[in-house]
Amino acid sequence: MRLTRLVFQLARRNASLIHRREMATSDRGSSIIPKTVNPDIQEERNAATFNVEDFALWWHGGEENLKRKRYVESSVFADIDENKTVASIQSLSHDEIYAAAMEDALALAGKLRKLQKELNPGGKDIWPGLFSGPELWGAMPGGNPFTVHFSMLVDAIRNQGTDEQFEKFGKRAENLEICAAFAQTELGHGTFLRGLQTRADFDSKTDEFVLNTPTITAYKFWPGGLGHSANYSLVMANLYIDNKPKGVAMFMVPIRDEETHMPLPGIDIGDVGKKLGFYGVNNGYLGMKNVRIPRTNMLMRHAQVEADGTFIQSPAAALGYFSMVFGRCWISANNTTMLAIAATIATRYSAVRRQGSINPKQPEVKIMDYVTQQMKLFPEIATCIADRLAALKLRQLYHQTERDIKKGKYDGLGEIHALSCAMKVMCTSDSAAGIERLRLACGGHGYLASSNLSNLYSTATAGCTYEGENTVLLLQVGRFLMKSAQQVMAGKPLAPTASYLAKIKMDQWSGSWENIVEALECATANKTHQALKNIAARMEAGQTQGEAANNTGIELTQAAELYGRSFIAANFLQEVTGINAKTRSPALNKVLENILELYLVKAALDNMNNIFRIVKITDEDVNSLQASLEKSLKSMRPNAVAICDGFDFPDRNLLSTLGCFDGNVYERIFEEAKNCSLNKEPVPRVFHTHLKPFMKSKM
């Protein structure tokens, strides 16, 4: 109750601040953007069949969460420089982008620290809880150099280090008293961790580890914040004792002086240069030559090295990779947010963009009235909702596994690893492909940097390769499925998310929601068993197990994708039709049922080649699915804008001329163009220095 009252008091104060800032902007008289809402987008909101606030409350997990989110956003964005946009950031040099990103990140950190003291003293839910999340991306249009520090590094020290090590390193990192990178990937190795070339040799005489990157390909390459932000790095290296390999371990390595920030002896460090996206994240490289650290800087919650060189092995090898599971949970959730932002931008734009007519001699229609446009927009709305719900479920399973580990129970590690890999693949590939479809749905204007769609795409598609390249992760899921299929054959129990693998055929097709989910699960089982059968056949023909698995790789990745899609679909069905439905209004439930049907019907049509193999389906059945798809699009049409409003993104987080709440698209596009730095002078200097002399020259 104290938090609620304080939020309301402070929200009133901040509302006044925002109002004064808007009035100041209006007084300047320089903006051509109307202060009113575009009537076309208001018409969409008036037509909605449900209460948008009900959707927002459901989406954000209840009244307290939504109030806090809105208050924090209003506080952080109250004094933000509105001229600092993605487009303006992209016009800067690489050095300037990094400086701007650092300034913005630290300004946000200061605000969040203050808000934490105001709203929940002693807690961590706001600072550092919100620092690397999507709620406040709009405060850092150039990116956050400390994202990996807070999203992975602190958690890795907590779960891989001892309590004493967390006291020494983790708490300082959590308070940003030190800045640390998570250095796993090398120039020559990424997902294949056993192949890492970075060495950590134990010297029992000095009770130290000696770290080296013996070749160029051994250099750490890509860690976020490593270039010039971090003064420590959690280095993943192969451990050697008396020149004998002991496996991969993690080491907390000082890399820059805490006072001067100069690289320490033996450290070769820098920024990797410009990238497709993540402009200000300061991804870096790290080389080490005979860098010595105390033995106690190796994270030793699970595996230990004693002073005499005795190596105590981890009780479960997979524990060493558990921090990456958390990273994949985080990536999955963030990518669903990117897709939701893109869907909001494209849907609002489609509500105000008029082009052509459906009937001759009729006025131009909103492009969202075209069924083909609806097919570009609405499935992506459904996908971001389905993926986000599954990402939340994945996070719950992760925390359950975390609790089990503390009790000495490790039997769930294989499942959570496979599921996190599958979810990371599905959410990143869904968002990357979906954002590109939504950009194309906005026509030429979607190509503008000011639309923010290109930035969203470059950020989302990066997720397809960092923290495990997607194809490699699918193959890891495939191995889990092969082991599960062998357990079926041996009559052994299966992991909960793979419990359906014993059923490879369906009795009957009805096309109901439950039937579609069952079909996806049976298709997963059928593809899994077919892949296992083909591996066995290839081995019988003389191939090694590795060769047989490689040659069956296509089927293994297909089975893995089906496993991921089945999990998402089953979870979506449970959320919409299960016990949680009783907590929602009938109108909201009807909307969610419409979205669920669209998602499931499209999933069935997309996977029909696999479903054909496990149940008899007629042409009439397929035609019925197509009719259901079109009906779902039609039912969703009056609610599309309202659903996106329910995501509750403030304009500052959208950072888009096409997607603002007021729908004044053309004025925003034109004002952004007028403010382009190239337009500061009527005649650019290059005209006088190059173009005019060339045109006047005689050849």
The residue type at 104: D
467 labelled catalytic: yes
| Residue of 352, 371, 368, 373 whose CA lies nearest to 657 | 352
Contacts of 530 (CB under 8 A, 6+ apart): 555
Helices (H), 367-506: 371-406, 413-441, 453-462, 470-489
Residue 507 to residue 77: CA distance in whole angstroms:
56
How many other C-beta atoms lie within 10 A of the C-beta of residue 5? 9
How many other C-beta atoms lie within 10 A of the C-beta of residue 464? 21
Contacts of 684 (CB under 8 A, 6+ apart): 678
- 185 annotated binding-site participant: yes
SS3 content of the chain, % helix, strand, coil (to 5): 60, 10, 30
Phi, psi of 250 (to 5 degrees): -115, 140
Q: Taking a C-beta distance cutoff of 8 angstroms, is the pair 227, 269 a contact?
A: yes
- 468 annotated binding-site participant: no
DSSP state of 452: S
Give helix 586-606 / helix 553-577 axis angle, nearest 10°. Answer: 160
- Active site residue: 135, 436, 467, 555, which one? 467
| Residue of 681, 478, 521 whose CA lies nearest to 614 | 521
Per-residue buried b or exposed e for 18-31, using 16+ beta carbons within 10 Å of the residue's own CB:
eeeeeeeeeeeeee
Is the peptide bond prior to 128 cis by the omega test (within 30 degrees of 0)? yes
Phi, psi of 649 (to 5 degrees): -85, 125
Residue 180 to residue 170: CA distance in whole angstroms:
10
Q: Taking a C-beta distance cutoff of 8 angstroms, is the pair 198, 290 a contact?
A: no
Residue 48 to residue 53: CA distance in whole angstroms:
12
Residue 613 to residue 617: CA distance in whole angstroms:
9
Phi, psi of 63 (to 5 degrees): -65, -45
For the annotated binding site, the residues are: 185, 224
Active-site annotation, residues: 467
